[in-house]
Amino acid sequence: DYFWNIPILSFSRRRYTSSNRGYQFSKKHWHNKGMLLNGKNFGEGNYHAQLGHRTIIYGVDQGMRGLCVGEKRRMTMHPDWGYGTRWTDNIPPNSVLVFDVHLLKVERPGDGVESLDEKFEQNGGVTAENKLVLKDLYKKDPELCKMSSGQDDLIYWNYKGKLLDGHVFDQGKFHAKLGHGQVITGVDKAMLGLCVGEKRRMFIHPDWAYGARGVPGKIVPNSILIFDVELLSIEKPDGRRDEIDKHQEFLKKADPDHEKLKIEVTYTVDGDKCDKHTRKGDTF
Active site residues: 159, 169-170, 184, 210, 227
The answer to whether the CB of 18 falls within 8 A of the CB of 119 is yes
* Cα–Cα distance for residue pair 152/163, rounded to 1 Å: 29
Residue 25: other Cβ atoms inside 10 A? 10
d(CA 187, CA 229): 10
Name 259's Cβ contacts closer than 8 Å, sequence gap at least 6: none
Q: How far apart are CA 99 and CA 272, in angstroms?
A: 75
Contact (CB, 8 A) for 23 and 7? no
- Residue 150's φ and ψ, nearest 5 degrees, are -145, 180
Q: Residue 277 is which amino acid?
A: H
268-279 in b/e form (b: 16+ CB < 10 A) is eeeeeeeeeeee
Q: Which residues pair with 10 in a beta bridge?
A: 76
48 forms beta bridges with: 29
Q: Are strands 41-50 and 72-77 parallel, antiparallel or unpaired?
A: unpaired
Assign residue 283 a region: left if phi > 0, alpha if psi is -120 to 50, beta otherwise?
beta
Cα 82 to Cα 84: distance, rounded to the nearest angstrom: 6
